[in-house]
Amino acid sequence: MPQLTAPQRMGEMTFAKVAGITSYLTSFWLCSLIRFSEIVQMKVFAQKMIAERGVLDQQR
């Protein structure tokens, strides 16, 4: 394995840092996206339930 010069080592450190930050941001973004879609699904589900309940009340 060849010895790295100082600039190469710095470049590798920077690359590792950027890769870590990128993966962290990606996972954070995915989590918030999943949470957002869950909230939307819950709202749609709640509206459906309310609408069905309203229809049932009207039928009585």
6 or 24, greater pLDDT: 24
Tell me how far CA of residue 20 lies from CA of 15, 26, 36, 49, 59, in angstroms.
8, 10, 24, 43, 58
Question: What integer best gives the mean pLDDT of the chain?
Answer: 87
**pLDDT recorded at residue 4:** 64
- Compute the average pLDDT of residues 27-55: 92
Confidence label for 55 from pLDDT (cuts 50, 70 and 90): confident
**pLDDT recorded at residue 47:** 94
Q: 44 with 52: CB under 8 angstroms?
A: no
**pLDDT recorded at residue 2:** 62
- Compute the average pLDDT of residues 30-39: 94
